[in-house]
Amino acid sequence: MTNSPSSAPVPAGDKQWPKVATAGFDGVVVRFADSLSEPANRAALAFRAAVEAAGWAAIEETSTSLVSTYLRFDPLGCAHDAMMAQVQALLKTRDWYDAALPQGRRLWRVPTVFGTDLAPQLEEAAARAGLTPDEAIQQIAQTQLRVQTIGFAPGQPYLGELPPAFDIPRQTELTPQVPEGAVVVAIRQIVLFSVTTPTGWRHIGQTRFRLFRPDAPEPFVLRPGDEVLFEPISPERYAALEEAGADGGATSEVLA
């Protein structure tokens, strides 16, 4: 993650975007912007849904990143030029930046310990944001964050967007290991880890919310468009949630 998010929408009628390019032997990427914006994020989600609905025979799978849609296809069954033309034609059918968010979105409330030895970089991240730790917790807890994309690891959300103060860089050195359920912050985004991983983002909170459940009927819990509130809890409450199962005390309601 090296993007620097901005909320500036792509100007309507900008002929430069979207851009279509091949990616490797069997990929096409449609980029709706070169920095994070909500309209471009919605466009990427909506365009992927439209490709899936179109049911083109050569498509093998599709995905979205923050502001782009990816199509993997079989170039032996459909030449690159033909696939690019098909994509361009579909792009012309509407204004994708105007697309609505996906249906059936949910709001998740996720119990979170901020700071303590469970999440040792709260003070450091708050200082970078020019806030006290309590102010940082308060600002984060009050921001309803949206899942902009799932990626990097299974079921792992990129959540945005935090107030401008949190436009803090990643650290230069990697933290060798941050546990599953960790809440990490950089560049006005939060990532909630679905695996134990090294990271350059700062570890400010810890949850017991398991995002990837290979054997469950719904293996991937969060979907793009879902919203998340991190609700501060005490380390004692966190300890008690060990018995709470894979949700770790998280609850969800359908957003209207």
Interface positions with another protein (CB under 8 A): 1-4, 21-27, 29, 31, 34-36, 48, 60-68, 70, 72, 75-76, 79-80, 149-156, 194-195, 212, 214-215, 219-220
Bridge partner list, 220: 212
Where do runs of H (alpha helix) occur along the chain? Answer: 38-54, 80-91, 122-128, 133-142, 235-240
CA dihedral 70, 75, 79, 82 (to 10 degrees): -30
Distance in Å, CB of 158 to another protein, minimum: 8
**29 or 107: CB nearest another protein:** 29
Distance in Å, CB of 33 to another protein, minimum: 8
**121 or 149: CB nearest another protein:** 149
Distance in Å, CB of 174 to another protein, minimum: 11
**127 or 216: CB nearest another protein:** 216
**211 or 233: CB nearest another protein:** 211
Give, in degrees to the nearest 5, the angle at Cα 227 between 141 and 99.
135
Distance in Å, CB of 131 to another protein, minimum: 26
**185 or 233: CB nearest another protein:** 185
Distance in Å, CB of 26 to another protein, minimum: 7
Where do runs of H (alpha helix) occur along 110-199? Answer: 122-128, 133-142
Residue with tokens 């960790």: 182
Euclidean distance between CA atoms 140 and 232, whole angstroms: 9
Q: Give 173-180's long-range contacts (Cβ < 8 A, gap of 24+).
A: 173/200, 174/198, 174/199, 174/200, 175/121, 175/199, 175/200, 175/203, 178/203, 179/206, 180/210
**9 or 219: CB nearest another protein:** 219
Distance in Å, CB of 125 to another protein, minimum: 20
